[in-house]
Amino acid sequence: MSVRPDRSPLRPRHLCSLAAALALTLGGTATAASAQASAGDLREVMFVGNNWDGTADVIKSTGDFTKIGRINVIPDKDERLAAINADPIKWVYFMAIRNGVGEGHDQFVDDMYSTPDGRSVVVSRPSFADVVSIDLATGHINWRFPVSGYRSDHMAVSPDGTRVAVSASTANTVHVLDITTGKQLGSFATGDKPHENIFTRDGKYIWNMAIGDVNTALDDPWLDWTKGDRHITVVDATTFKQVKVIDMRQRLDAIGLTDYSDAVRPAVFSPDESKLYFQVSFFNGFLEYDVASDKITRVKTLPKNPATSTDRTTWVNDSRHHGMSMNPAGTKLCVAGTMDDYATVVDRATLQEGPLVTASKPYWATVSGDGKDCIVSESGADQVTAIDFATGQKTVSVPVGDHPQRVRLGHVEANWTGPSAS
């Protein structure tokens, strides 16, 4: 099964077998049994990053998706703000983030992944230009990694759960960190404004998508060239050496889509990683890219909401649709129609969309723990909504914090209900 940006790579049964194998290597069936029991005490959950709150809600990964607990991801807020206020350049960037991509709000949590042992969650914090590890039992910070430049963005976790890649968007760099210690293992250069990161399912490669400048008002198609150098960078995940660069401008032009932006936004691989499905700026739909032939093979245009303004400068951060996921079987895609206020399930074979499920500025799409539902974050309604992949119908909505964006599968200890008061 492909490792997608919406799936946690280590499930409890995998952790059990890994822990038991390690224990047997160290000696003793009693030790093995103890390790297996410990790993088995993990519970799969979903982390919902409430960007403007500076919190992450932890909800059930299946069923009714009810809330289990909440984490404050900015316990060091006063300290960070003091450091920013003491540095004029950092202050300028902090305010630019607030008034630009933050839509008048600070961006306190973009992305998050739990550690394999379920004891910590690692969070990228755009306004603080860093990545932190937060102890799930105490709520305290384990480590902090300041990224290059002045803003952190999307992350990805390796299939074995030991490494996390984070985009440093103003430095055109991706850092790869040890998820337990926060130590940098390596980094690599990207195009302008690196955004999405994806590890391949074997953990050998990292794909990074650079989206360019999404905050300028130069949004007419003929001005698309002003948005910067946008391309996909593929690197070796061990050496961090560049393996391939894919410029979608050339691939779009080759099929006559000269007016389409080449800024690749959320993307998802098919289970065998032969196809990449991706969204681009300003487009209400998505494209299919064949990896082997290096060509765009299909284009799907989804319905426009008549109530959506035609003024592209009013669309948030050059988005039209932002958020994609795929069911484990690879037969259905789920698409968040951000500026059109809906989400829909699309049949991958025919590209026929299902019902348009009303949603308020849906910002991300992921997959439930059992693979049955698409989970969409409604940033305009402060809730997450589950849509059945089989029927395309909404099943439930659950309230969360202010402006939910990224939603990721992860693990906590079985009896966890939130950090202890201290």
**How does DSSP classify residue 302?**
P
Beta strands, E only, 136-204: 141-146, 152-157, 163-168, 173-178, 184-189, 194-199
Rounded Cα gap, residues 219 and 301, in angstroms:
19
CATH number of 12-413: 2.130.10.10
CB atoms < 10 A from the CB of 324, how many?
25
* Helix, strand, coil share (%) of the chain residues, nearest 5: 20, 40, 45
> Which residues pair with residue 197 across a beta bridge?
208
Rounded Cα gap, residues 114 and 95, in angstroms:
29
Give residue 18's pLDDT.
38
pLDDT, tens digit (0-9, with 9 covering 90-100), for 129-182 = 999 999 999 999 999 999 999 999 999 999 999 999 999 999 999 999 999 999
What is the distance, to the nearest Å, from the Cα of residue 223 to the centroid of all Cα atoms in its chain? 28
Give residue 2's pLDDT.
36
> Which residues pair with residue 155 across a beta bridge?
166
Q: If the chain, 422 residues long, is cut into consecutive pieces of 10 residues, what is the mean pLDDT of each piece?
A: 40 40 37 42 97 97 97 97 96 93 92 97 98 98 98 97 97 98 98 97 97 89 91 98 97 96 96 98 97 98 96 91 97 98 98 98 97 97 98 98 97 94 54
Rounded Cα gap, residues 143 and 191, in angstroms:
28
Give residue 303's pLDDT.
98
N-terminal to C-terminal alpha carbon distance within the chain: 41
Domain definitions of the chain by residue range: 12-413
Q: Is 197 helix (H, G, I), strand (E, B) or coil?
A: strand
**DSSP assignment of 92-115, as one string?**
HHHHHHHHTTTTTS-----EEEE-
pLDDT, tens digit (0-9, with 9 covering 90-100), for 42-91 = 999 999 999 999 999 999 999 999 999 999 999 999 999 999 999 999 99
CB 65 within 8 A of CB 369: no
Q: Is 224 helix (H, G, I), strand (E, B) or coil?
A: helix
